[in-house]
Amino acid sequence: MKIINEYTYEHLKNNKRHTISILVAITIASVLLFSLCIFLYSMWESKLNVTIDEYGYWQGEIMAPVFGEKLKHITENPDVESTMIKGNWYTAELHDAKRPYLLSRDANKDFWNNMNFKNSVLEGRLPEESGEIVISKLFFTDNPQYKVGDKLILPVGNRMLNNEILSTNAYKQEGETFEALETKTYTIVGKLDI
C-alpha cells in the first residue's frame, strides 16, 4: 500500500497540469451535483408548502361518522399527531336574504389550525368559541345587510318535502317547508375568500 501511495504522489508531482485539471473537473462536478440536489429539494419543499396552503395539513380522512368510545381509539392512537373533528350539518332559516338557508357545521380548533381556511380569511378571524361562524364572501355580496360582528338569532331545523327530511345540501325544491326544532345564536366573526 505504501508503494502505491508513493507512486501516486510521484505521478501527481510530475504531471502538475493534469493533476490541476483533474482536481478542477472533480470540483466542478461536485458543485453541479450539489446544486442539482439543492434544486430538487427546494422544488419538493415548495410543492409540499403549496399543497399544504391549498388543501391543509392532513393525511387521512374517515368518511363514516365516528361516535363516542370509538373516537378515543383515534385520538389516543400514538401514530395520530392531531385529530380534526367536524360535526353534523345544521340548516338555519334566514329571513330577508337572497338564499333562504344558512348551512353550518361545527369544527374543533385543530380543524381551523390545520385546514386551508386560515389562509383565506379576508376580514375578521377564524372561530374560537361555540356559536362563532365564518361565512364566504359570496354571502356578504348577496346579503349586504349582514356584516362581520353581527349576532344572528336563527331557527335551526330540517327542510321538509312531503313529510320527508331533505338532505342539508339538497337544492331548493318547489313546495319544501322548514321545520324549526330550536333557536341558535350565531356571531359572524370572519369573511372567507371561498
The more confident residue out of 29 and 72 is 29
Residue whose C-alpha cell is 391543509? 56
Residue 101's pLDDT band (boundaries 50, 70, 90)?
Answer: confident
pLDDT digits (tens, 9 = 90+) for 103-127: 888 888 888 888 878 778 889 888 8
**Average model confidence (pLDDT) across the chain:** 86
Between residues 151 and 99, the one the model is more confident about: 151
Q: d(Cα 124, Cα 114) in Å, to the nearest integer?
A: 18
Does residue 131 come out as left (phi exceeding 0), alpha (psi in the -120 to 50 range) or beta?
left
DSSP string for residues in 9-65: HHHHHH-HHHHHHHHHHHHHHHHHHHHHHHHHHHHHHHHHHHHHHHH-S-S----S-
Res. 97: pLDDT tops 80? no
Residues 154, 93 contacting (CB under 8 angstroms)? yes
Cβ–Cβ < 8 Å for 190, 128? no
Per-residue pLDDT at 193 exceeds 90: no
42 pLDDT band, cuts 50/70/90, is very high
Q: Taking each helix axis as running N to C, give the angle between helix 2-14 and helix 16-55, from 0 to 180 degrees, rounded to the nearest 10.
A: 100
